Amino acid sequence: MFDNNRYLTCGIDSKIPLELQLFMWECVDQLPPERDYLQIFDLEIVGSMQSITHRSEEPEYRKVYLLPSEKPITEKLYIIDDGDHCTMLLASEY
């Protein structure tokens, strides 16, 4: 799972910095082999830091990262593996 071609939507391309995109793909890559097809990322501003909460439902998973950032953002996004390809998209684009 999550080994197929990877895509992102226009919303991701315009709102999420490349460094954060790469970081979130790496978070998914580091998960143990049993992974939910739907990975959820909540991005929040914590002071001058970027908070990223990565979670999934089955199996249940939750991890929070705090990264230094010049321009932290607030956004919710998904990475979905549909069996043919993997797509990163904003929750509002779902």
Q: Give the span between the Cα atoms of 57 and 5, in whole angstroms.
A: 23
Reply yes or no on whether the pLDDT at 3 is more than 90: no
Taking the model in full, what pTM does it have? 0.94
Can you say how many angstroms the Cα of residue 84 is from the centroid of all Cα atoms in its chain?
18
Return the pLDDT at 4.
82
Return the pLDDT at 40.
98
Q: What is the pLDDT of residues 33-89, one digit of tens each?
A: 899 999 999 999 999 999 999 999 999 999 999 999 999 999 999 999 998 999 999
Token representation of residue 64 = 């929070």
CA separation (Å) from 89 to 32, 46, 68, 70?
22, 23, 23, 23
For tokens 């978070």, name the residue.
Answer: 27
Return the pLDDT at 77.
98
Q: Give the span between the Cα atoms of 84 and 76, in whole angstroms.
A: 23
